[in-house]
Structure 1
Amino acid sequence: MGKKVIVMPYDKSWKKAFENIKIELSEVLENLAMSIEHVGSTSVEGLSAKPIIDIDVVIENSLVFESVVEALGKIGYQHEGDLGIPGREAFKYDGKEHLMKHHLYVCAKDSAELKRHLAFRDYLRSHPEAVSEYSHVKEEGAKLYPDNMDKYMEYKSPVIQKIYKRIGIDS
């Protein structure tokens, strides 16, 4: 049995959940981060999503990365590597029960993966018809493949590819 696929209608509390995580990150990262971005489906008003906040911490370049790893370590985050996606360093955590479940990534400001995340988010934020289409596909995929994350991801892939094509990003 695979990982459960749970897709929910947009919840306005996700914005506040991101802000709570951002505050905690900002306190420890101080001037190491250029910005802390809410990305992924929970960052788009009206978009159905898995209830997990995606966050990109944007840094100047790799020269500050070790300091970022050290700072995040002080509040319970451990570096996991790029998990097969160059330009995006993943972090896992323990002891964050007071925060909504989230995925934390650190990206250099010129990272192609960061640019993809921001372009995708910004496109959806300004195209309600794309939000509607993508929400429908995600909800359908979750119904069709409630226990198979890989099949769910495969099912929604054509819509993602269509959006990437519209915004001029190679997938």
Structure 2
Amino acid sequence: MRTHSGAGLMEAAQAAGQLIGGVGAYEAGKYNKAVAETEAVEAQNVGAADELRVREAARAAIGQQVAAQGSNGFAMGTGSAIDALQQSQINAALDAMQVRQEAKSRARALRIQGAIAKSQGDNALVQSMFGAASSTYRMQQDWASARRGSTPRPTSSGGSEGGGNALYEGP
């Protein structure tokens, strides 16, 4: 019988270990989600700063373009000179939009990564609960099986068939 109680303790320790592991995975998932959210916000901030730099660089380039047109004898702001300035502004706006879209995409990917980490933690916690419950159920079943045969057999009130101390052997 002593080996059985050792097995029961081992199963109880396994059930507790499963729960602890599940809680740890759950907490790690929550933490990783928070980290991913922080990184997503940072990616958006970096994207906004990059977009600002693109717009400032474009304004400086357009200013140089206007100055170059004037120094080359073009009538500034007319004809092909204005067309060149408009195209430069369009290109600058497209570059800024691309930078903003890339930052949004990075942030979205990080948030999805965080949501996946959180879901994995949630699933690990649920799985550990089922595993611990299953281990506990098996332990109870093993205990019940081990006790079978050691429970005193019920005696009838009027007889002495075999005495009142006989052990019930089970089915």
Q: TM-score range by the shorter chain?
A: under 0.3
Question: Which is richer in helix?
Answer: 2
Question: Which is richer in strand?
Answer: 1
- Using the size of structure 1 for normalisation, the TM-score is 0.19
Question: Who wins on radius of gyration, i.e. which is larger?
Answer: 2
